[in-house]
Amino acid sequence: MKIIIKYFHEIKKPEFFLFISLLYVLFSVLLNEFIIKDKLYYQTLGEQLARERIEEFLEFKHKWDWIAYLIIPVILFFKFLFVALCLETGSILQGYKTSFKQMFHIAMFSELVFLFAQMLKTIIIALTKLEDLNEMQYIASFSLLSIMNNKNIDPWYIYPLHTINVFEILYWLFLAFILKTLLQKEYTRMIKFVLSTYGVGLLILIVVVMFINVNFS
């Protein structure tokens, strides 16, 4: 763990952000270009759309996939911004001497947990014979969603059930560990801090997403 903390303090933050972004792009390219074949789209959408419509969709997708890859760093930036905002708000209320920049770096460094999860999921999907695109959200999610009968789940419950997963919990613990070292506080106290700041923010986000799904589905 001391090596992790040393690495956290020594890494160059812009280069680390680029490193994480490029790895996420790499996993996305592997999934879209080499693992998920066009045949799977025909199997999934064949009963809903005519073959010509599916071909048009795939042509459009292949033409504009690069835009989705470019958006990945933007999504990551706003994710780190959201986590940092939750943590720094709690820090101010608790009277801790931190900065928003520090919290942003902590959020970015802790993303290694989800990066490992994405790598693992990519490998498992590559080794699994998929029959339907919808199966992807249940494969290797390590969440409540993966242990429930997905046929009986209302669509608006999918996001919260998918969010409550093993790696999300590990992310909370990792955040707490970095904060423990930075603030020189007890680990259990930092776990409670993460739950009362980022945990509350995540809960609000889940409620908002569920509200949108209910009203626009």
Over residues 68-101, the pLDDT tens digits come to 999 999 999 999 999 999 999 999 999 999 999 9
Reduced to 3 states (helix: H, G, I; strand: E, B; else coil), residue 131 is: coil
Q: Which of 12-21, 65-74, 145-154, 202-211 has the least mean pLDDT?
A: 145-154
130 pLDDT tier (thresholds 50, 70, 90): confident
Sequence ranges of the domains in the chain = 2-216
CA-CA distance, 121 to 194, in Å (whole number)?
A: 26
49 pLDDT tier (thresholds 50, 70, 90): confident
How much is the mean pLDDT over the chain? 90
CA-CA distance, 36 to 42, in Å (whole number)?
A: 11
User: Which residue shows structure tokens 């942003």?
Assistant: 104
CA-CA distance, 81 to 36, in Å (whole number)?
A: 31
Residues 6+ positions from 53 with CB-CB distance below 8 Å: none
CA-CA distance, 189 to 194, in Å (whole number)?
A: 9
With a threshold of 0.85, does the pTM exceed it?
Answer: yes
So what's the pLDDT on residue 2? 66
Is the pLDDT at 65 greater than 70? The verdict is yes
